[in-house]
């Protein structure tokens, strides 16, 4: 096959799915850092992290939070799925693993503090030695880097995945990032070898989840020419609106477009892919 043929290029740019063994780990908090006014990093660790793998930049693990009395009642994984012993089931939410260090057996999780749900409540009071359950990731989607450029759009909840993708892009690649946070104090510095064009969008105290802010920023942002992979993660309605806009106005190709709802206004525990 001609190395420059459209079929070969398409094959080389096709995302690959990888499955992982189902694992549920009981870990403990090692460190808590307030990175920004609305971003808290919690580092957990323990021998149970041996063999942990998260090769996809937007992987997600399920976090199981201890009850108010500090007790963490994790299920046992069996052939028929998880089974709980007597006691309350822990509340759980999906999060992107920010960084795994095999040498120290630690895992970083960044929490966007934008609501009053169980994840924010736990992260704000997290202290060294407290337990946390981590399940997964069950699978990964590996997105090739060999595109002409890359587009990453999201709100605070998407920042860990955006940071991971920028860190893995090779020198000579191009990336455009449009990210929404509450204000200038919440902006992050990203480490990347890519040629990065970065636009920050500020809510300035307004509620998160309004699609107009990121939609207008996308329309104003000059975009490079060429084939690109677009990735979007935000509130469900925002992700859906941006996906439609990318297809209708910006020449995005469905095989090279991934949009995900990392949360949904008025609902709890939402994490889903946005498709037709």
Same domain, 206 and 222: yes
Q: pTM of the full predicted structure?
A: 0.94
Tokens read off for 136: 């997964």
Q: Give the β-pairing of 16-19 and 139-142.
A: antiparallel
Same domain, 222 and 149: yes
Q: State which of 139, 172, 199 marks the end of a domain.
A: 139
Same domain, 121 and 169: no
Tokens read off for 151: 């587009």
Q: What is the pLDDT along the chain (276 residues), one digit of tens a residue?
A: 455 666 677 788 999 999 999 899 999 999 999 999 999 999 999 999 999 999 999 999 999 999 989 999 998 776 666 777 667 789 999 999 999 999 999 999 999 998 778 999 999 999 999 999 999 999 999 999 999 999 999 999 999 999 999 999 999 999 999 999 999 999 999 999 999 999 999 999 999 999 999 999 999 999 999 999 999 999 999 999 999 999 999 999 999 999 999 999 888 888 999 987
- How many other C-beta atoms are found inside a 10 Å radius of the C-beta of residue 174? 17
Asked if residue 7 belongs to a domain, the reply is no
Asked if residue 10 belongs to a domain, the reply is no
The answer to whether the CB of 38 falls within 8 A of the CB of 159 is: no
Burial class (CB in 10 A: 0-12, 13-18, 19+), 30: middle
Same domain, 153 and 128: no
- How many other C-beta atoms are found inside a 10 Å radius of the C-beta of residue 212? 9
CA pair distance 263, 94, nearest whole angstrom: 10
The answer to whether the CB of 64 falls within 8 A of the CB of 90 is: yes
Burial class (CB in 10 A: 0-12, 13-18, 19+), 232: buried
Same domain, 43 and 150: no
* Cα-trace Rg, the chain: 19
pLDDT averaged over every residue in the chain:
93
Question: What is the count of structural domains for the chain?
Answer: 2
């Amino acid at each position: 096959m001609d190395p420059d043929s459209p079929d070969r290029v398409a094959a080389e740019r096709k995302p690959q799915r990888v499955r992982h063994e189902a694992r549920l780990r009981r870990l403990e908090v090692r460190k808590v850092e307030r990175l920004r006014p609305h971003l808290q990093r919690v580092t957990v660790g323990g021998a149970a992290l041996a063999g942990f793998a998260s090769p996809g930049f937007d992987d997600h693990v399920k976090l199981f939070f201890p009850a108010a009395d500090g007790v963490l009642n994790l299920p046992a994984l069996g052939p028929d799925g998880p089974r709980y012993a007597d006691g309350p089931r822990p509340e759980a939410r999906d999060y992107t693993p920010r960084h795994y260090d095999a040498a120290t057996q630690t895992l970083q999780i960044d929490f966007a503090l934008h609501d009053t749900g169980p994840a924010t409540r736990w992260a704000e009071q997290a202290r060294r030695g407290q337990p946390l359950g981590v399940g997964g990731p069950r699978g990964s989607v590996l997105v090739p880097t060999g595109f002409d450029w890359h587009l990453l759009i999201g709100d605070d909840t998407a920042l860990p995945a955006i940071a991971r993708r920028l860190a893995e892009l090779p020198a000579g690649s191009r990336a455009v990032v449009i990210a929404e946070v509450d204000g200038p104090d919440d902006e992050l510095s990203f480490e990347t070898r890519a040629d990065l064009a970065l636009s920050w969008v500020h809510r300035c105290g307004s509620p998160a989840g309004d699609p107009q802010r990121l939609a207008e920023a996308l329309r104003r942002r000059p975009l490079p020419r060429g084939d690109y992979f677009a990735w979007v993660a935000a509130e469900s309605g925002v992700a859906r609106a941006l996906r439609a806009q990318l297809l209708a106005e910006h020449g995005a190709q469905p095989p090279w477009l991934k949009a995900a709802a990392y949360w949904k206004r008025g609902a709890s525990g939402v994490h889903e892919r946005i498709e037709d």
